[in-house]
Amino acid sequence: MMNQDINLFVSFWVDWFDCIRSPLKSCRKILISAIPDKEKIIFASRIWIIAFLLSFALELPLYFYIGIHIEKPFVFSYLAYGFLLIFIASFIMHIVLRAFGIQSIFHETFIIYSILMGSYSPFLLLLSYPVQINNALLITEIKNGHIPSLNALPLLFYNKINYEPLIVIVSSFMNILSGMLNLIIVVLLLYAIMDRYNSNKFRTLLSITFFQIFLLPYLFPFMIKDVILLFYKG
């Protein structure tokens, strides 16, 4: 039984690595395969599980610094928060594609989004690490009573934080790399959607651009997470 669990866990990592190495090929392979749709969705969910594990490992030092005790309720809340965002993002993407006349099928769009965004999301988090550190410092100040919690909300939501000069410099460089990675993901989404739904390139690009602007990715999730950490009593 233990060997089966280990083999299953190793297969999760192998699938994630394959998606990073050949994202478009992985999308096409799983979408055209003869396995049931349920199995395809499970495959996509595995990619997110690995992404969450990596993201959690990256954020673990910040949690310890803030004083968050890592217990099962917090871990489950973290996973539930992540999966909720994924389904919301996938559903919005599905609706946007439909609005632009692209014959999106929700579970297939979820698979495409999971493989392309889920594979690279830990790298996006890593590139945002300077800002995450500064936010952790701010939350620590709040939890120590130096700043009232309600007064801190605008700082988190509107990014009105006095960053340290070094963090500003490093963050600026990281933002450039993050922008490049985001552009790569957009291009991958473009070709994966065109390939699956046989859609027009210009219309597909418009829909993805609108989706990116509407969803405010890479900012909204971090802000909400910071607010959760702010009021978490663990």
Burial class, 36, CB count within 10 angstroms (exposed 0-12 / middle 13-18 / buried 19+): exposed
The mean pLDDT of 202-222, rounded to a whole number, is 72
Average pLDDT, the chain: 77
Map tokens 């595995």 to a residue: 46
* pLDDT value at residue 218: 46
Burial class, 84, CB count within 10 angstroms (exposed 0-12 / middle 13-18 / buried 19+): exposed
pLDDT-derived band at 57 (thresholds 50, 70, 90) equals: confident
Residue-wise pLDDT tens digits, 28-55: 989 988 888 888 888 888 888 888 888 8
Q: Which is it for the CA torsion 87, 88, 89, 93, positive or negative?
A: positive
pLDDT-derived band at 102 (thresholds 50, 70, 90) equals: very high
Highest-confidence range of 87-91, 104-108, 149-153, by mean pLDDT? 104-108
The domains of the chain are located at 2-231
How far apart CA 195 and CA 212 sit, in angstroms, is 20
Q: In the numeric block, which tokens belong to residue 59?
A: 């954020």
Q: In the numeric block, which tokens belong to residue 145?
A: 């009573």
Q: What are phi and psi of 70, to 5 degrees?
A: -80, 100
